[in-house]
Homo-oligomer: A and B are copies of this chain.
Amino acid sequence: MSLRSWLSIPRGSHFSLANIPFGIISTDASPKPRPAVAIGDYALDLEAFTAKNGFSACSIIQPHQTVFSQTTLNAFAALGRPIHSVVRKYIQSVFSENTPHSEILKSNTSLQREVLIPLKEVKTHLPMHIGDYTDFYAGRNHAFNVGSMFRGKDNALQPNYNHLPVGYHGRASSVVVSGTRIRRPQGQILENPVATPKQPIFSPCKKLDIELELGALVCKPNKLGEPITISAAEENIFGVVLMNDWSARDIQAWEYVPLGPFNAKNFGTTISPWIVLVDALEPFMTKGLSQETELLPYLREKRKENMYDIRLQVNLTPESGKTTTIATTSSKNLLFSFPQMLAHHSITGCPMNVGDLLGSGTISGLEPTERGALIEQTWNGKDPIRLEGGEERTFLEDGDTVTIKGVCGNNEDSLVGFGECVGTIEAAINLQPHIG
């Protein structure tokens, strides 16, 4: 298939013809959320495109076209990967030069006006209804750094770490789409950890952090009591998004024993709006971190190249300042893949549903400039980082904007990118009227 489009797609666009990511959009003129794909500087409104018989030459989707008038992508995702694959290729064909489907839109400028909306006029929404959200901890460099900080290098990783993808159940209701403002959380903090008795104070979080992650969205359910096998698991993944799992480190330090992080993680988790399909990422598979341990059979993958090589970047922009890139790394810095996470998660018989979200865990490379969380970058606040323009940061200040970007490929005409995952910190709410 030709990857040249008749549509003008700017060089360096994340949304080249090689990508075709799916999302949910609305516009001022048409405020109902509906499915779309991103291509170049446009969104193709799939509800409108369907209504105008845009899929008339794509027979496989014909019986299912109502999926494109839903307010989430769950129904489309539930059709399964073989159908996603055909639909993506069909849309590529519609936008390509010299294919049987080139003429559907190319020479029909009135149809173009109806179905192609400039991305800058589009509002994006949470792309799926997320039933359950699970966050893993598969970024071994991150786990090692944080473990070293609190337990020393020799005990940095717990004995289970290399044997299974450590994870915990997260809070689905607080997953939000890129652009949603994040209010600084409040809660109990132990300011003086050595005083006895230990007496927490009530305070806005003073150690507000980011976590650079990938998120995977599930497209195939399994029943209670029936595990997903490692060989089948890849078929259960719809696509991937960028994720920022905002974390309140001081709240976490006090609350987390013995049952794990709770309020430190439930005030907001931001995901990027465009779901990049597994098919689009397939050319960018590579090896992840080397497994030092022989895994139990239920976690053994046949493929050796099981990680996505996505170039990731974290930018921090103070309210009145310049943007600083505070981290760059690759998503290959993970010890376990999403299929391994699914196989482990469901080995007990835990049922997964369409729309469930799996977080990878914080992704950090080996170098200090590759660290995906401020707690690592500043070694728990001891070593501030310097921003362009002279400001320093240990953790996030009110008004700070964090932007995660991710992109695959080297040819500027055929990038497979995620766009941005953005959040700005708002000051904590005044609780005095409530608790004073």
Bound complex: CA of A349 vs CA of B168, how far in Å? 20
| Contact digits for A228-267, partner B, Cβ 8 Å, 1 yes 0 no | 0110000000000000000010010011111111111011
Q: Which residues of A contact B (CB under 8 A)?
A: 131-132, 137, 147, 158-160, 163-164, 166-174, 176, 180, 183, 185-188, 190, 197-198, 200-202, 224-227, 229-230, 248, 251, 254-264, 266-268, 296-298, 344-345, 347-353, 356, 426, 429, 431, 434-436
A-B contacts, 5 of them at CB < 8 A, read A160-B257, A164-B255, A172-B172, A173-B352, A256-B260
Known A168-B259, A255-B166; contact A266-B345, beta-carbon cutoff 8 A? yes
Q: Is the CB of B257 within 8 A of A158?
A: yes
**CA–CA, A129 to B431, complex, Å?**
31
Residue of B with least CB distance to A164: B188
A185/B348 contact (C-beta < 8 A), A202-B298, A225-B429 known: yes
Which chain B residues lie closer than 8 Å to A348 at the CB level? 185-187, 248, 251, 263-264, 266-267
In this complex, what residue of B is CB-closest to A350?
A: B266
Pairwise interchain contact B171-A350, C-beta atoms closer than 8 A: yes
Since A137-B259, A174-B224, A251-B348 are in contact, a sample of 17 more A-B pairs with Cβ atoms closer than 8 Å, ordered by chain A residue number, is: A132-B173, A159-B197, A160-B188, A160-B200, A163-B200, A171-B350, A173-B353, A188-B296, A202-B296, A202-B298, A227-B434, A229-B435, A248-B348, A256-B260, A259-B260, A264-B348, A298-B431
A197 to B293, CA, bound (A): 11
Q: List residues of chain B with CB within 8 A of the CB of A169.
A: 168-171, 262, 266
A173 B255 Cβ-Cβ under 8 A: no
Given contacts A200-B296, A298-B431, contact A158 B352 (CB under 8 A): no
Q: In the complex, what distance in Å separates the CA atom of A180 from the CA atom of B349?
A: 14
* A259 contacts B349, C-beta separation under 8 Å: no
Q: How far, in angstroms, from A158 to B258 measured CA to CA in the complex?
A: 7
- A297 adjacent to B347 (CB under 8 Å): no
